[in-house]
Amino acid sequence: MAYVFRSSHRRDFLRTLAGGAAGLSILRTSRAQASPITTTKLADNYIHIAGAGSNVLLVTGSDGALLVDSGSPEHSADFLKVVSEQSGGRKVQTLFNTHWHLESTGSNDALGKAGATIIAHENTRLWMGTDIICKWRNKTFPPRAKEALPNQTFYTTGKMTFGKEPVEYGYLGQAHTDGDIYVFFPGPNILMTGDVFAVGHYPILDYTTGGWIGGLADASKTLLKTSDAQTRIIPGVGPLQARPDLQAQADMCATMRTTFVGLMRKGMGPKDMLAAAPTKEFDAKWGDPQLFITNAYPGLWGHVRELGGIV
């Protein structure tokens, strides 16, 4: 269901959009320039790969390899060389996509052509198969090649065994996008969160493909329930985190959901919300809030009926 912004708020939104997109550009550029690609052994057969555009987990088995996410397109060739070296030349049999963004699905094309089973939420497959007009990035993403699309999808949760290693995965709802999933490895107690969990910056709410602050708050709680005090948590980008770090994001998102809804009920648009500095108690930890606030606004409008008291 579509909702129409109040005209004055629409103007505010368009004016602040350019600034938010610029902030994202800086963030994406820092990802793209991250080098070199590094590897860290977390447990027997488990290797964390960083610097490929997104964090990746490589799991090796007697018959092949499993990956969670596949880095960005510009890093694909180097990334795949690292995977081959670290896995002893094993073929990648299984690839999980935590969501559709190019920074995390850049090697899908090559791995799909090589016969990998690509697992993702059904919404991720749908987004990857169509044009995505992303206004806040001022960019249109064309459909991905057939080989790059997930070829095994699910809706709620799933379990599998890779070699002797149990793997659990589940849907996180409308959070960073509307196709976010986690992948959990109970043996070594490692949790892959994708970009639902942000480190060093505010979480990105991609409202174009269903992301919103209420869903992100709920997804953060789901990740907390999936982890314990010993869980090593791998975010979309950045160093490994612990459960208290995830708790901090969950608390921030819950607070900001309530705050943003309150400001909208007062009739505020995105420019008013930025001026009110609603995130000031969290800025020291998460940095510049402009993109976070700017993207939260249209995401909230997508849920205005269930929130109540706004229109």
- What is the pLDDT at residue 140? 97
- Using one digit for the tens of pLDDT, what is the confidence trace for 55-96? 999 999 988 999 999 999 999 999 999 999 999 999 999 999
Closest to 240 in 3D by CA, of 45, 57, 37: 57
Question: Hey, how many other C-beta atoms are within 10 angstroms of the C-beta on 291?
Answer: 25
Closest to 123 in 3D by CA, of 206, 57, 201, 5: 206
Q: Are 107 and 144 in contact (CB under 8 A)?
A: no
- Using one digit for the tens of pLDDT, what is the confidence trace for 93-133? 999 999 999 999 999 999 999 999 999 999 999 999 999 99
CATH of 33-252, one of 3.60.15.10, 3.40.50.720, 3.30.1360.120, 3.30.1330.30: 3.60.15.10
- What is the pLDDT at residue 14? 47
Closest to 93 in 3D by CA, of 155, 20, 31, 165: 165
Q: Are 211 and 220 in contact (CB under 8 A)?
A: no
Overall pTM > 0.75: yes
- What is the pLDDT at residue 36? 87
- What is the pLDDT at residue 35? 59
Regions of the chain where pLDDT drops below 70:
1-35
- What is the pLDDT at residue 309? 80
* Concatenated DSSP letters of 207-224: GGGT--HHHHHHHHHHHH
Q: What is the dihedral angle through the alpha carbons of 45, 82, 93, 226, rounded to the nearest 10 degrees?
A: 50
- What is the pLDDT at residue 282? 98
Q: 286 is written with which tokens?
A: 């998460």
